[in-house]
A and B are shown apart, each in its own frame.
Chain A
Amino acid sequence: MRDVAVVGFAQRQMTDYDGSPQCAELLVPLLAECYEQTGWTKKDIGFWCSGSSDYLAGRAFSFVSAIDAIGVLPPVNESHVEMDAAWALYEAWLKIQTGEVDTALVYGFGKSSAGVLRRTLALQLDPYTMTPLWPDTVSIAALQARLGIDAGLWDERAMAEVVDRSLTDAEKNEYAVRAGGSSVEDLLARPMFADPLRKHDCAPVTDGAAAIVLAAGDRAREVRDRPAWITGLGHVSDGLHLGTRDLTQSESAERAAASVGGLDGVEIAEVHAPFSHQEVILRGALGLADDVRINPSGGPLAGNPMFTGGAIRIGEAARRVWDGTADKVAGHATSGPALQQNLVCVMEAK
């Protein structure tokens, strides 16, 4: 295996992006930030990979327009996944492992506000027995939340504690779409949206984009004193049918963590939990010790641009290695209904 590190990260998160869903204009300054961080130009990038979705944009091949932002003439080595950019990062990491390239720039974008997000996401369900009912993402998460409450695995107070901590931490995040802790009592006094979920239990609809730079060996060392070396990267998916999964657990998150040898020694974890109770599930499934600091950025409850939210978790975690806050961190990304698919990326200073 080649030593590959995260060496660059830039993001934008906003409630409403006043621009086209192709987001080329939004991506240009993010890529410029990546060049500034690395001291590179586009000629130094060996591979480009993006994550986005046509359903979110409401137009076919929406990623093709976005690639104007990277400068594609003469043609560049480029790929795309219809998933969160965290999975694009996985593809880029594999590409570097092949030895074909030494560097990669990964980006994701999504204008979640263009349509009705919780409805659009019903299209990722089983198309025969579920999508025709248009079960929205918030409803599905609420069914999951209640199963855990009824089983005594968490309660509304535990969910509110996740929200309060996230929104308090988000006060220090300039990109947070929602920030400002109040108190658990105050949160619990607010009305239900999708019983037992209140609006603050659900990640806000967020537009945005993010970019991450990966580099192998000496190319990484030329950028940073403390590159965030990827020492484990795995992803696992559960089956399509909600009914055959134990929704109070996340088997795929557990297996993804096991596939990287577990998360022992991780000091900070950025966990992609778009609903408050899912952080509780993931803490257990990922085997995070009690003293692991979760989502110091404020996490997805403070801002969750679609197809970017998972990649941002990896970028936020990597930053903690660069600045010396931690020696070992984890970034986690999820995709699909009720934590169906999970990706874990462990990064270390060394």
Chain B
Amino acid sequence: MSRTLQAPVTVAFDYTRSVGPVLGRFLTGLREGRFVGARTSDGRVVVPPPEFDPLTHRATADFVDLPDTGTVTSWTWVSEPVAGQPFDRPFAFALVTLDGADAPILHAVDAAGPEEMSTGMRVRARWAEERAGVITDFVFEPDGSSEVSRLGTGAPRTSTTEEGDAVSGIITPVSLDYVYAASPEESAFFRGLSEGRILGQRCPKCQKVYVPPRPACPVDGVPTEGEIELSDTGTVTTFCIVNVPFQGQKIKPPYVAAYVLLDGADIAIQHLILDIPADEVRMGLRVKAVWKPREEWGTTIENISHFAPTGDPDADYETYKQHL
């Protein structure tokens, strides 16, 4: 068994950016099936056009249309493509200098195998049938071949006010896959939850009990030691009433999210307070964990459905004031 609990996690979001006049012109060109480069102050023609001149630092202003044929100046064979690349089968990445340009553009070449690739080979852009004004509107292919291109899933999109207007923005979906690991101490905590136990760790120096446990005491910077089993009763130290609906919300507002200081712990955990009207929740309220039915338990804090009032008198402020 692995020392830690691990689970796959995907972090996904859309990068939404405005592109400005230079890149906007380049991307608008792509949507129209043509390449727009720029002449820099040293006389070179560069595509994609840099927004500012690398020498004078002035805004780029001298634009040049370029043909969609060029020469490979360097290439590599992608034997194991990763998600999001232009092809999900082996292909080439290449530096391609378009005819009339002095600097290469990085892009994919749709070739059958590395033996079909060579420095100095001629390539031609193959345009997607439906173009959005993004860098994936084309791929290169060896000059002479002619297949129909497809846009992969997750291809970026652009924003324009109306059809025919210049491209003003780009939206790039980003999705990253991880295997996320809990720390060994957190793993012990989650394994404990699957047995109906709440486990913390104690700092050997200051004796504070952390739950969920941390690998190190933030006061002393030393490893925590020793499993401490905590009671599932505690005290509300502070709370907020959630009135605002948001995406992914599981409970209808208003409801209470609170810090619950479990008896024997030195740091509060956050959880829900239910079985009491939201406006009656208060600091010092004594609460107890309400566990879901055992057959629904996993290695998760959700084994505890929520905390509910015990009916006991409120805790004295002195007993929790140093934990606020």
Contact = CB atoms under 8 A, between A and B. Distances in A.
Interface in B19-52: 19, 23, 26-27, 40, 44, 46-48, 50
A43 to B, nearest CB: 11
B4 to A, nearest CB: 5
Contacts of A257: none
Contact of B176 (A19, A58, A68, A144): A58
Contact of A73 (B46, B95, B186, B219): B219
B83 A134 contact: yes
Contact of B216 (A68, A135, A140): A68
Contact of A21 (B85, B104, B180, B217): B180
B50 A133 contact: no
Contacts of B245: none
Interface residues of B, number: 71
B83 A68 contact: no
Contacts of A218: none
Interface residues of A, number: 61
A181 B174 CA distance: 39
A194 B84 contact: no
Interface string B42-70: 00101110100010000000000000000
A123 B47 CA distance: 21
A217 interface: no
Interface stretch (A111-119, A327-335, A342-350): A111-119
Nearest to A18: B3
Contact of A241 (B19, B50, B217): B50
A128 B23 contact: yes
B79 interface: yes
B292 interface: no
A131 interface: yes
Interface stretch (A23-31, A222-230, A318-326): A23-31
Interface string A103-123: 000000001011110111011
Interface in B159-196: 170, 172, 174, 176-186
A289 interface: no
B23 A24 contact: no
Given A120-B176, A133-B135, A243-B104, A139 B74 contact: no
Nearest to B174: A123
B105 A71 contact: no
Contacts of A129: 23, 26, 48, 105-106, 135
A68 B223 CA distance: 10
A308 interface: no
B95 A244 contact: no
A146 B47 CA distance: 21
B73 interface: yes
Nearest to A114: B178
Given A58-B176, A114-B179, A114-B181, A25 B223 contact: yes
A192 B90 CA distance: 13
A115 B17 CA distance: 25
A22 interface: yes
B291 to A, nearest CB: 26
Contacts of B82: 116, 118-119, 134, 136
A243 B142 CA distance: 20
A243 B95 contact: yes
Interface in B92-127: 93-95, 103-108, 114, 119
A195 interface: yes
With a 10 A CB-CB cut-off, give which of B17, B26, B79 has the most chain A CB atoms: B79
Q: Nearest 9 CB-CB pairs, A to B?
A: A71-B221, A142-B76, A25-B215, A58-B178, A134-B84, A119-B82, A20-B183, A243-B103, A195-B77
Given A22-B183, A119-B176, A133-B107, 19 more contacts: A21-B181, A31-B221, A68-B217, A68-B218, A71-B216, A71-B219, A114-B178, A127-B17, A128-B48, A132-B84, A132-B172, A133-B135, A134-B85, A143-B95, A192-B79, A195-B79, A195-B114, A242-B106, A244-B50
Interface of A: 18-22, 24-25, 27-28, 31, 42, 55, 58-59, 67-73, 111, 113-116, 118-120, 122-123, 127-136, 139-140, 142-144, 146-147, 150, 192-197, 239, 241-244, 247
